[in-house]
């Protein structure tokens, strides 16, 4: 996968990931006490959909563009907060910009909440700092996400979310992701963790799930505190291009599975290519 997220901004994987992210943050707002979000691979924060990279890939046209035109039925109230954030970056109603995870998080922070965004790539980091307007609630860290992950947990707020969304440039990225999660979870087993992965290799996805679920089960015997979500827009044929992506949510809000049972079926038709997409939603098993 290409590190430069501008090629893929607003695609189906972003839509699903950011919908889940939004539902988790809205849940965290339910208590007055402060929370922190740690974004380990934050990116540039805002993407120009009229730029050369986004136009070349064009993935947003079958992702966020379709969702904004879709009739969502019972899912509409649950999806609306996410779409409202996207619309706030497109005040002229024409879809020209897409917010990445840090700006979606920032839109849902209350005065007492904080964001720590890690970005090592110089150009992306510079853009992220500019897009956050040097906001005092959002700290941009010049640090590799895998180094930052165990260093920044537990946060002083003792409540919050760790978003782990690496670029998957390396062949061993699944193993790195599993090890990084394990190190952080050992230090902060009470936190909510959201792990994103491309679902190209069934074996790699299953191995990651078993590793994460096993770590959770060891810390919390007898409890299934890990949720697996996958969404496919078409069968994966081995050709270039991502057709399926997944998320693991550790310590999910108790409302999340119910929310997703309403949301995910409504995404199948608008996001599917050449027919309806399909989703997978289940508890993780070691």
Burial of 179 (C-beta count, 10 Å sphere; 0-12/13-18/19+) = middle
Question: Which pLDDT score is estimated for 106?
Answer: 98
Sign of CA dihedral 272, 268, 39, 214: negative
Contact 41, 166 (CB under 8 A): yes
pLDDT tens-digit series, residues 218-263 = 887 766 799 999 999 998 666 678 999 999 999 999 999 999 999 9
CA distances from 151 to 5, 36, 185, 200 (A): 25, 14, 12, 30
Q: What pLDDT shows up at residue 16? A: 98
Find tokens 């050992």 and name the residue.
186
In tens, the pLDDT along 21-36 reads: 999 999 999 999 999 9
- Enter the tokens of residue 47: 């993407």
Q: How many CB atoms lie within 10 A of CB 79?
A: 22
Residue 141, CA distances (Å) to 26, 49, 129, 256, 282 in order = 25, 26, 10, 30, 34
Give the residue numbers annotated as catalytic, written as ranges: 165
Q: What's the confidence (pLDDT) of residue 1?
A: 40
Cβ count near 216 (within 10 Å): 23
The mean per-residue pLDDT over the stretch 192-196 comes to 98
Counting every residue, how long is the chain? Answer: 286
Q: Quote the DSSP letter at residue 133.
A: T
| Cβ–Cβ < 8 Å for 225, 191 | no
Strand partners, 251: none
| Pairing of β 192-198 and β 160-164 | parallel
Which is higher by pLDDT, 105 or 235? 105
Q: Which residue has the tokens 């540039």?
A: 44
Class of domain 5-283: alpha beta
- In the predicted model, is pLDDT for residue 3 greater than 50? no
4 Cβ contact partners less than 8 Å away, ≥ 6 residues apart = 53
Residue 165: strand, helix, or coil: coil
Compute the average pLDDT of residues 170-189: 94
52: confidence class by pLDDT, cuts 50, 70, 90: confident
How many Å separate Cα 51 from the centre of its chain?
23
Token pair 């019972």: residue: 74
CB 105 within 8 A of CB 38: no
- State pLDDT tens for residues 54-74: 888 789 999 999 999 999 999
What is the pLDDT at residue 238? Answer: 63
């Amino acid at each position: 996968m290409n590190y430069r997220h501008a090629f893929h901004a607003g695609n189906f994987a972003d839509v699903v990931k950011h919908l889940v992210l939004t539902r988790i943050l809205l849940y965290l707002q339910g208590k007055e006490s402060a929370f922190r979000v740690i974004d380990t691979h934050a990116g540039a924060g805002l993407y120009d959909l009229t730029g050369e990279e986004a136009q070349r890939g064009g993935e947003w046209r079958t992702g966020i563009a379709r969702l904004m035109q879709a009739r969502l039925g019972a899912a509409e109230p649950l999806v609306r907060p996410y779409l409202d954030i996207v619309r706030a970056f497109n005040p002229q109603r024409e879809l020209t910009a897409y917010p990445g995870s840090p700006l979606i998080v920032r839109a849902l922070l209350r005065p007492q909440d904080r964001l720590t965004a890690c970005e090592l790539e110089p150009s992306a980091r510079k853009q992220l700092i500019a897009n956050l307007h040097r906001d005092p609630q959002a700290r941009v860290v010049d640090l590799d996400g895998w180094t930052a992950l165990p260093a920044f947990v537990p946060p002083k707020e003792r409540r919050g979310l760790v978003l782990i969304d690496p670029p998957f440039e390396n062949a061993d990225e699944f193993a790195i992701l599993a090890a990084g999660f394990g190190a952080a979870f050992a230090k902060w087993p009470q936190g909510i963790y959201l792990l994103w992965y491309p679902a190209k290799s069934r074996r790699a996805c299953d191995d990651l799930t078993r590793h994460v679920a096993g770590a959770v089960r060891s810390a919390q015997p007898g409890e299934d505190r890990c949720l697996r979500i996958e969404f496919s827009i078409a069968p994966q044929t081995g050709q270039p291009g991502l057709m399926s992506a997944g998320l693991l949510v550790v310590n999910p809000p108790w409302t999340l599975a119910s929310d997703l049972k309403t949301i995910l079926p409504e995404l199948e038709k608008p996001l599917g290519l050449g027919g309806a997409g399909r989703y997978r939603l289940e508890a993780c098993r070691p």
